Amino acid sequence: MQYNKILVVATANVGKVNEIRELLKKLPLIVQSSKEIGFTKEIIEDAGTFEGNALKKARSVFPFARTWTIADDSGLCIDALGGLPGVYSGRWAGNDRSQIVSHTLQTLQEKRINNRNATFVSALALITPDASEYVFLENLLDT
């Protein structure tokens, strides 16, 4: 079976798409964002896990793309905060993502937590042209 060589990244984040293009530049692939293929619907990341959010995004875009589709979800899980911010990492500091570090440090100080062990978790969902689904989960940083 011959598949086309288009990979759709289920994101509106131009920076993320450019990073993936750079990583895969030696492969015979055309990397496109969901927006570039005309998918403009907002996908609410409301699953309780990184894997669930990645799959939700990939499954939302795949019927529109009808080709290789990937999506990711990732975040910081702080042991002393019961795994928070976790899947809420993007919303942890409100609408201003630039405040995540200061908000996290302030939360740890307010709770008088000295143990700052954390793990950065990343999930990647891939749907192939024949609709097979694969999910990859990695703990990228364990401090």
Are 108 and 62 a contacting pair, CB within 8 Å? no
Does the annotation count 73 as an active-site position? yes
Our CA dihedral for 16, 14, 18, 64, rounded to 10 degrees, sits at 90
- Residue recorded with tokens 């009808």: 66
Q: Is 67 helix (H, G, I), strand (E, B) or coil?
A: coil
Are 72 and 122 a contacting pair, CB within 8 Å? yes
Catalytic pick from 73, 79, 96, 142? 73
- Supply 31's token pair: 């990397």
The catalytic residues are 73
